[in-house]
Amino acid sequence: MNLRWPESQPVLGGDPVILRGWRSSDAQMVYEDCQDETLQEFTTVPSPYTMADAEEFVTLGPSLWQAHTGANFAITDPADAVIGAISLQNFNEPEASCEVGYWVADFARGQRVARRAVELIVGWGRVDLGLARLILKIRRENTASIAAALAAGATPTGVTVDEEARGVVHNFGIYEI
């Protein structure tokens, strides 16, 4: 099936959690947010994380959108400060499925930001983009992410996979929503 990519990236949500496309002016905030060790441990962001990494990340979002290969959103607060990132990636067009990835800045955690961001991107992905299945791959020991995924309505599939990250093999649980 064909996914229905709109010409321009939408703005989703509202007070207190907004999802919007990335801008080059976001690089400094992304750089600061991505210094957090927990974020580096549980995501695929480079470690150590440099300003060049942040600049590359914020310019990648719009080009992935144009190519219909990724939907990368900044998570912001109502004052437009970047408090996280969420993306749809690894699209499987025949199955109308993709993976969801996210992080929330350490200072913004524990306020249901991830839960709301997942709800927003899943709602848009299903209704507007035409996805049938969204997959979350979460390390077994990442209790915060598992809790956020479950709170947003994801369910465990019972499937686990081993994957290497930075030279270490980790076990991931597969969730779907």
Ligand X SMILES: CC(C)(COP(=O)(O)OP(=O)(O)OC[C@H]1O[C@@H](n2cnc3c(N)ncnc32)[C@H](O)[C@@H]1OP(=O)(O)O)[C@@H](O)C(=O)NCCC(=O)NCCS
DSSP the chain: ------SSPPPEEETTEEEE---GGGHHHHHHHTT-HHHHHHS-S-SS--HHHHHHHHHHHHHHHHHTS-EEEEEE-TT--EEEEEEEEEEETTTTEEEEEEEE-GGGTTSSHHHHHHHHHHHHIIIII--SEEEEEEETT-HHHHHHHHHTT-EEEEEEEEEEETTEEEEEEEEE-
- Strand duo 71-76 + 82-92: pairing: antiparallel
Tokens 């991107």 appear where? 121
Q: Which of residues 60, 64, 81, 144 is near ligand X by CB under 6 A?
A: 144
Q: Which of residues 51, 147, 159, 161 is near ligand X by CB under 6 A?
A: 147
Build a one-symbol-per-residue string for 30-59: x at contacts with ligand X by CB under 6 A, - elsewhere: --------xx--xx----------------
Q: Which of residues 27, 138, 154, 177 is near ligand X by CB under 6 A?
A: 138
129 forms part of the interface with ligand X (CB under 6 A): no
Q: Which of residues 22, 49, 102, 175 is near ligand X by CB under 6 A?
A: 102
Q: Are 69 and 7 in contact (CB under 8 A)?
A: no
**Span interacting with ligand X, options 90-98, 106-114, 122-130, 156-164, rule CB under 6 A:** 106-114
Nearer Cβ to ligand X (71/148):
148
165 forms part of the interface with ligand X (CB under 6 A): no
Nearer Cβ to ligand X (67/169):
169
Closest CB 34 distance from ligand X, rounded Å: 10
Q: Which of residues 110, 140, 157, 160 is near ligand X by CB under 6 A?
A: 110
Round to whole Å and give the CA distance between 111 and 109: 6
**Span interacting with ligand X, options 22-30, 58-66, 87-95, 144-152, rule CB under 6 A:** 144-152
Interacting residue ranges for ligand X, rule: CB under 6 A: 38-39, 42-43, 102-104, 109-115, 138, 142-145, 147-148, 151
